[in-house]
Amino acid sequence: MPVTNLLRADGLSFDQAAMLEPLAIGAHAVRRSGAGEGQTVLVIGAGPIGLGVMVFARLAGARVLAMDVSGERLAFCRTWAGVEHSLDAAGLAAPQMVKRLAELTDGEFPAVVIDATGNAGSMTDAFGYLAHGGTLVFVGLTQGSITFSHPEFHKRETTLMASRNATREDFDRVLRAVKNGTVDIGRYITHRAKHDDMIERFAHWLRPESNVIKAVVEWP
């Protein structure tokens, strides 16, 4: 590996250093979207990547709305990521969510929508949540195909992007935010296990009721 690819993590704990990469994925998605001061950004999916998107969209000066099907995760993103509004999508059809978004944005809708779910249904619905001329970013990955209405896509003059990477610029930004305490890694890591116990813990961590955000496996 070229030395230029290495990032000095002086002053960080091992926990903090380990969380730079997932947070950089979210920071990169925000930078690609062009989200900035005064814009409304809707982030769909309050998992570890979505939370990173939320916090760095807020730090970019955006007004951040969060959507998820888990009330516990929405509560976490309100306190940890500082989102302005959270929308519980559990049991709601897309038209109902469109109505709610219209109420929250005075009929303007979000200028940027970033989907971090990797769920094909959610990704399809996201096309209907955008403002005219808005940008839709898929940072979550589905293994299948997605379809959308071309007339709806066309009339909104939608910009569609994929985001899957992180650059040195993104890592540097996250590193600064962690070092200055803007991003609280202590609360981002919700579960731990010793390496001897990790296999048996996985089954529990994969269940929604475990409320895992990030789990750390500790080695001697």
pTM comes to 0.95
Stronger pLDDT, 209 or 98, i.e. the higher one: 98
Q: Over pLDDT 70: what percentage of the chain?
A: 100
Residue 169 is predicted with a pLDDT of 96
CATH superfamily of the domain spanning 17-162 = NAD(P)-binding Rossmann-like Domain (3.40.50.720)
Residue 143 is predicted with a pLDDT of 93
Residue 2 is predicted with a pLDDT of 87
Residue 114 is predicted with a pLDDT of 99
pLDDT band at 1 (very low <50, low <70, confident <90, very high): confident
pLDDT band at 220 (very low <50, low <70, confident <90, very high): confident
Residue 9 pLDDT greater than 90, yes or no: no
For the chain, give the mean pLDDT. Answer: 95
pLDDT 10s digits, 65-97: 999 999 999 999 999 999 999 999 998 899 999
What is the arithmetic mean of pLDDT over 157-179?
97
Q: 3-state DSSP call for residue 124? A: helix
Residue 151 pLDDT greater than 90, yes or no: yes
pLDDT 10s digits, 11-52: 999 999 999 999 999 999 999 999 999 999 999 999 999 999
Q: Over the range 100-125, which residues count as b (16 or more CB within 10 Å of their CB) and which as e?
A: bbeebbeeebbbbbbbbbbbeebbbb
Are 146 and 170 spatial neighbours (Cβ–Cβ below 8 Å)?
no
d(CA 160, CA 165): 16
Domain boundaries, the chain: 17-162, 192-220
Per DSSP, which regions of 155-213 are E strands? 159-162, 189-194
pLDDT 10s digits, 183-208: 999 999 999 999 999 999 999 999 98
